[in-house]
Structure 1
Amino acid sequence: MSDEQPEPRRIGSTRNVIIALYSVYALNYVLPLITLPYLSHVLGPAGLGVIGYAQSIAQILLVVVDFGFGLSSARKVAVHLDQPEVVNRIYWSTTIGKAILATLCSGLLVAWSFAGYMSPAERGATLLGSLMIWGGVITPACFYEGSQRLPALAATLLLTRVGMLIPLFLFVKSRDDVMLAASLQYAPTFICGLILTITLILKREIRLNVKIGLSDVLAEARDAYHIFLSSALTSVYVYANVILLRMISGPGAVGYYVAAERLTNALRACTAPAIQAFFPKICIAFERGERDYIHKINRRFTLAFAASAILILVGFSALGEWFVGRFLGEAFGETFRILRILVFVPAIVGMTTTQVMLTIIASGNQSLLKRIYVYGAVFHLVQAPVCIYLWGGVGTACSVAATELFMLVGVYRVSNRINHGQIAVRAQTQMDRQTQRQKLRHEMATERD
């Protein structure tokens, strides 16, 4: 392969990126809402609970595989976008680190599947979760987010999900087809990752002759560690709830909760595109000390999410019960009671994510997230088992909402300290030194060769 360097890509119009992201993300989250009523009628609450349980296990392991690389590496790509060699070193160090973790997590997934009591359908669906794990490895998300090309990633994922709809509607016809339904739900991430990686290689944006050592992988892991710890602690009250609910109340209760969670996840996804589109520019704004611009963007996001919470309250109060009955079926009445609590969570998450990504991480202070998420996980572990034991799926929703509010308060306190200069912005000086050290090692290796 030629060593010719591709032209560096520049960050484009944020408005265009937001429009493209919302257009494609909207379709990406409409598709699960199309399949949800079909699967709820065909598989029933228990079958839907099997898929939700297996997916939650895979999502927890996926947090380990990602290890915080997604945001830490994207931040570096955004800052070094005009240096293709540095970007390639970031990409390969990140991918190799993920692959090592995915190998360990795949072994853990097999052990989990055979260690405890599971039905054959649950065991098969759990093992199929490896598609999600390895899909997280091969998807070059840091490349696309750092260069503001997330619309291309989202569009590719959309096309693969559309492709999976055809066999889903053709072949999933009864409650015996749970494993087939699970495989078709998990496969799009893996297929999408293959397509995107091959595309970048053919366009020579990913080079295959980059030499990466263990020290490079460990350096990326050290930078991502604080974000990983935050994500791992978040998974305690996002994904582990489903596992705990299944242990206490069985797969039927999981089915009711998963149905409500998927509906609110569609609302939660509405918060992501705009924040992701602004993330690279806010990182650069912190580097340049453009405080007024940063404060303006954060205020606008906060007001938008507060307004959305009011609109959701009015809409759900008027149409919620009718919608659940028609959309999921009369057997999912419990889902409506869960939704009455979970429906507010997306707005809370949007406010929290704004401060985490556009202030704490963008300013280089991701290490401060560790303490916040430790407190949040401890708070959740104290109250969640009691709530789930007493009130089942409704208690699960109450525990999640309480923890999200707790996290919002903690994140806002840290963000205010950063915004008022009480916590210094950590510029890219440390990363630049690391890049220089990597470059020096590379030059010395070239001289030896």
Structure 2
Amino acid sequence: MPSLKKNVLYQSVYQILVLLAPLVTAPYVSRVLGPEGVGLNSWTFSVAEYFVLVAMLGIANHGARTIARVRGDRERLNREFSDLLFVHVLVSALAVVAYLVFVLAFVEGNRTLFAIQGLWIVAAALDLNWFFSGIEQFGVIVARNTVIKLATIISIFVFVRGPGDLWVYVAILALGALLGQASVWPFVTAHITYRRPVWASAITHIRPLLVLFAPVVAVSFYRITSRVMLGAMTSEAQVGFYANAEKIIGIPLGLIGAFAAVMLPRMSNLVASGNEGDVKRLMSTSFRYVWLVGTALTFGLAGIGLELAPLFFGEDFAATGPLIVGMAVTIPFMAFSSVIRAQCLIPRSLDKKFTASLFCGAIVSVIANLVLIPRLEAVGAVIAIVLAEITVCVVQMISVRDLLPIGQYVRLGAFFLVAGIAMFLSVRGIAAIMESGVAMIVVQIVVGAAVYSTASAVYLWRVKDGVFLEALKRLDRFRGSRTAA
């Protein structure tokens, strides 16, 4: 069985790479394109993203789950992959055609930008991440993205020189995504012998794909729709402030998503084989460590957000600071619900419960956005997303209370909450006595990390956490080998 630790590392690197291009270039792009340019890119992409969701049609979760269940049988793996790929390409082709009709028939302004954003839909048609996730071969995904992401970053600095180059910026990002997805196809033949798809068996995937597409639609209401509603009800600058806050929050969410992506196929395989002992052990460890990481990132970003935004994005984006602080509140709720989703609901095919939780969040989000955006603009959108994520987490906890000791898992976070508050207070104390700038941010990060990691290490040692103690043993052996050398 593939190494779980290596896969977590590979998928974490992959998620960081996905976020790397927009994040590394954000200070430059924000200054060159300004709030309006950043907002216009975010808004046009948000519209195209609806069609990307249709193109993906639940394949990310259902495809990975299906492949994970049959990966031990090469012939079944060949058949399932071929049928899934046939359905995926067919649906994606329909999404591309629908988007072209939309652009030609309904778009009047910024048609060039909308047309370029359509490349993201073509990229979705070529997406095979679900297959490599199912066989737990994440190294391939990381390897192919490294070079492409670096090329994307370099291209932005070279070719985007002013506000008139907005279309160039949009094209570089879209082409990078397209090339990234296309580059993985040559690696598939090492694992798969393609079979001619059989329509009768291929259509059996449509229902579960649609079931898992429903939660994707729900998520879009409080992720994508927030940007769309901001653009429609306020201004492009407000979308720009909100979009840059999302880029910062995207880092911890990417790491959480990486962990969930790795655990989903592993749990699907364990559940299918009836190995409930390992399932319970992994879930308990997962909840403890998502609490540890999620709490650190929440209070860390909340502590430095006000100073980070104008320093990182430029003074024109000072309004992004409070948005970062607000969005940070969503991290622990998303971390907790990601474990429930990836390690309980989807592996056990409890798709209806998963869907119901997200639709509850979507309803809360839409109502809150309609009420708050006209009054509070981007701040209102942030409040709406916080309320939505809390709703999703609570509904999921209620839905699995008969399967999991939810109270026990919630109590695991109590200590980390105290440690996070201590870190936040130390970080804000530094902000009160130091002049704002790079030096202050560095000191805040170092001191905050020291406070939180020290407190957490003491706690993990006292509760005799297996993962932590094993890490200490490996560190001790490494030191011993270095001394002997």
TM value normalised by structure 1: 0.85
For the residue of structure 1 that corresponds to 2:184, the secondary structure is helix
Per the alignment, residue 343 of structure 2 pairs with 358
Deviation, 1:265, is: 0.9
Hey, what does 2:113 align to over in structure 1?
A: 125
**1:256 equivalent in alignment to 2:246:** no
Q: Which residue of 1 aligns with 2:178?
A: 190
Deviation at 1:12, TM superposition (A): 0.9
Identity %: 16
**TM-aligned CA deviation for residue 325 of structure 1:** 1.4
Alignment partner of 1:109 is 2:99: yes
Q: 1:362 is paired with a residue of what secondary structure? A: coil
The alignment of Structure 1 onto Structure 2 pairs a total of residues equal to 405
Partner of 1:72: 62
Asked whether 1:164 is paired with 2:152, we answer yes
Q: Confirm or deny: 8 A CA contact 2:302 2:326 kept in the other structure.
A: no
State the match for 2:462 in structure 1. none
Task: Check the 8 A contact 1:67/1:221 in 2, yes or no.
Answer: no
CA contact (8 A) 2:295 2:332 kept: no
* Aligned with 2:208 (options 215, 223, 237): 223
Map 1:328-407 to 2 at 5 A: 328-407=313-392
- Per-residue CA distance 1:160-180 (angstroms, 9 max, x = gap): 111122221111101011111
The alpha-carbon deviation at position 280 of structure 1 amounts to 2.1
Q: Equivalent of 1:26, from 8, 12, 16? A: 16
**1:177 & 1:66 partners in 2: Cα distance?**
30
| Residues 309 and 344 in structure 1, CA contact (< 8 A), matched pair in contact too | no
Cα deviation, residue 113, structure 1: 3.0
* Deviation sequence 1:321-362 (CA, Å, 0-9, x none): 221111100000111121111112233212111101110011
Q: 1:286 to 1:199 in 2, by over 3 A?
A: closer
Alignment of 1:193-272 (within 5 A): 193-201=181-189, 203=190, 205-208=191-194, 210-272=195-257
Distance 1:227-1:91 versus aligned 2 partners, 3 A rule: same
- C-alpha separation between the residues in 2 aligned to 1:382 and 1:25? 31
Highest RCO, 1 vs 2 (Cα 8 Å, sep ≥ 6)? 1
Structure 1 distance, partners of 2:96, 2:376, is: 34
* Residue from 83, 95, 119 that aligns with 2:85: 95
- Indicate if the aligned counterparts of 2:63 and 2:84 stay in contact, CA closer than 8 A: yes
Superposed displacement of residue 363, structure 1 = 1.2
One-letter amino acid matched to 1:101: V
| 3-state secondary structure, aligned to 1:148 | coil
- Give the secondary structure class of the aligned counterpart of 2:402: helix
> 1:295 matched to which residue of 2?
280
Contact preservation (8 Å) 1:109, 1:126:
no
> Which residue is equivalent to 1:35?
25
* Distance in 2 (alpha carbons) for counterparts of 1:216 and 1:130: 31
Unaligned 5+ segments in structure 1 are 1-10, 421-449
Aligned ranges 1:268-283 → 2 under 5 Å:
268-283=253-268
Contact kept, 8 Å, 2:69 with 2:272, in 1: the verdict is no
* Structure 1, 275-284 or 25-34: larger mean CA deviation: 25-34
- Per-residue deviation, 1:14: 0.7
Q: Shift of residue 40 of structure 1?
A: 0.4
What is the match of residue 327 of structure 1?
Answer: 312
Partner of 1:14: 4
Q: State the AA in 2 paired with 1:71.
A: N
2:478 equivalent in structure 1: none
Per-residue deviation, 1:267: 1.5
1:46 lines up with 2:36 in the alignment: yes
Which of the residues 140, 143, 146 maps onto 1:155? 143
**Contact 1:345 / 1:404 at 8 angstroms: preserved in 2?**
yes
Quick one: distance in 2 between partners of 1:280 and 1:117? 40
TM-score by length of 2: 0.79
Q: Is the 8 A contact 2:231 2:239 kept in 1?
A: yes
CA–CA separation in structure 1 for the residues paired with 2:207 and 2:158: 47
Which residue pairs with 2:394 in the alignment?
A: 409
Indicate conservation of the 8 Å contact 2:119/2:178, yes or no: yes
Structure 2 residue identity aligned to 1:62: V
Q: Distance in 1 between matches of 2:298 and 2:341?
A: 25
* CA apart distance, 1:156: 1.2
Distance of 1:326 and 1:395 partners within structure 2 = 24
SS state at 1:377 partner: helix
Distance 1:63 1:257 in 2: 21
The one-letter code of the counterpart of 2:310 is G
SS at match of 1:417: coil
Distance 1:316 1:374 in 2: 28
Over aligned residues, Cα RMSD in angstroms?
2.0
> Deviation digits for residues 105-155 of structure 1, max 9, x if unmatched?
2233234334556533xx222222222112112121222001111232133
Q: CA–CA distance in 2 between the matches of 1:21 and 1:282? A: 16
